[in-house]
Amino acid sequence: MAQLARQLYLDGAPLKEIARRTGLKPSQVYYWIDREVASDGTVTLKPAARRVTLAPGTRSAVPARGHLLSRLWRAAERQLDEIEQRLAAAVPPEADAPAGPPRPAADAEKDARALAVLARTLRELSALEAEAQKSRKVKAEDDAVRDLDTFRRELARRLDRLRADGAGAEPAE
């Protein structure tokens, strides 16, 4: 079953098909496609290259701008958390408590530089998000106006044609 799951995946079968044919759950399918079972039954870890699958209607595997911005925010938050943890470990909780090992000056300078870069990155991310929101708002307003204008022009054309044909002069029977 495990060998079959791996082989089907390598042959390009969809995950649902692999799960159906092997009786495995999707999480189990991923487990077994990363392992190779030898003829004597020994299992070795041998990860298979992952396929990129796109949702219906998706044009490319490139993440959307909003998704990219959120990933950058999370990365910045992780970096900030790491720096805060290092600073907290270097400073004793109470004034009378013994201090931990002194922090090398190079580490403090490295963290200061990292915080400066992080602050600049966050400022730029905020500007990018504001710009993206503004452009989405403007685009939505433009689409609404354009659609309304198009509707009005089309309605006027149809009314003119009806008047010219004389079909609109008498009520319908």
> Tens digit of pLDDT per residue, the chain (173 long)?
778 888 888 888 888 898 899 988 887 888 888 888 888 878 877 777 777 665 666 555 555 666 777 777 787 788 888 888 877 777 666 656 555 566 676 777 887 888 888 788 878 878 877 887 787 777 766 666 667 778 888 889 999 988 888 755 555 55
Type of residue at 47: P
Q: Are strands 43-45 and 35-37 parallel, antiparallel or unpaired?
A: antiparallel
**Residue 5's closest CA among 139, 85, 19?**
19
Check: pTM over 0.85? Answer yes or no.
Answer: no
Give residues with Cβ within 8 angstroms of 72, minimum separation 6. 121, 125
